[in-house]
């Protein structure tokens, strides 16, 4: 297959598997999504979805959030990890939203990246999933699969994002990045990976990836 054919194969396969795709993090509006995505750093969506109802019961908007102390926020979010940094970030960004944006979450990636504890990936997720603005947030699943499929060199997520945006049509970015995440979790995980179940990698994957898979499988016997 040519690269163009491979890209088409990926899009068609993912559409067949995931015609509709839910957003992994539970939220009610742009603010609660922003907080949930911030909390998800080095944690799991399942854990975050267990914790956010407890936090949002007390504060689901920046005005109520700043009424809590950083220590109070930290105590609630401890189970998701990195609570000292995240609690300061949540309190700090909530105050900035009040002071600069009338309590509203800005729709511009660059403005979001200026907020405490908000990096490029978090900002991209928010504009994509809360506002429908085309973006291609790259998490570990997308980074791994773009390399396995031979679409990127796997050196860093910055390059992976550039390659994804270059290869895939812009109008598909918001849906496609979620489809790839779900596919990575269900069919092409980092651990306990079974190539026979991973139809996309098996069909179009980088030769080195496939050869290494069989080599490692043989060595494990």
Q: Which residues contact 123 (CB under 8 A, 6 or more apart)?
A: 109, 112, 113
Looking at residue 66, the DSSP 8-state letter turns out to be T
Looking at residue 24, the DSSP 8-state letter turns out to be S
Phi, psi of 168 (to 5 degrees): -100, 140
Residue 155 designated active-site: no
Residue 121 designated active-site: yes
Determine the Cα–Cα distance for residues 156 and 178; give it in Å rounded to an integer.
19
Residue 42 backbone class (left: φ over 0; alpha: ψ -120 to 50; beta: rest): left
Burial 174-207 (b: 16+ CB within 10 A, else e): bbbbbbbbbbbeebbeeeebebeebebbeebbbe
**Per the residue annotation, which of 6, 121, 163, 198 is the catalytic one?**
121
**Per the residue annotation, which of 139, 162, 165, 175 is the catalytic one?**
139
Residues with catalytic roles: 121, 139
């Amino acid at each position: 297959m040519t690269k163009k054919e491979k890209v088409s194969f990926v899009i068609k396969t993912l559409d067949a598997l995931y015609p509709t795709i839910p957003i992994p993090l539970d939220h009610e509006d742009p603010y609660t999504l922003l907080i949930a995505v911030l909390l998800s750093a080095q944690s799991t969506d399942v854990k975050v979805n267990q914790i956010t109802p407890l936090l949002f019961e007390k504060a689901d908007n920046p005005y109520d959030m700043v009424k809590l102390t950083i220590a109070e926020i930290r105590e609630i979010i401890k189970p998701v990890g990195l609570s000292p940094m995240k609690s300061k970030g949540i309190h700090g960004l909530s105050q900035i939203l009040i002071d600069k944006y009338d309590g509203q979450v800005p729709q511009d990636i660059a403005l979001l990246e200026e907020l405490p504890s908000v990096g490029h990936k978090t900002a991209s997720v928010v504009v994509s999933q809360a506002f429908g603005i085309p973006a291609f947030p790259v998490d570990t699943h997308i980074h791994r699969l773009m390399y396995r499929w031979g679409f990127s060199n796997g050196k860093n997520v910055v390059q992976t994002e550039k390659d994804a945006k270059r290869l895939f049509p812009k109008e598909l970015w918001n849906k496609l990045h979620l489809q790839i995440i779900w596919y990575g979790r269900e069919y092409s995980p980092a651990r306990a990976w079974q190539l026979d179940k991973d139809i996309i990698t098996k069909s179009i994957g980088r030769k080195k990836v496939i050869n290494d898979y069989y080599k490692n499988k043989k060595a494990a016997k």
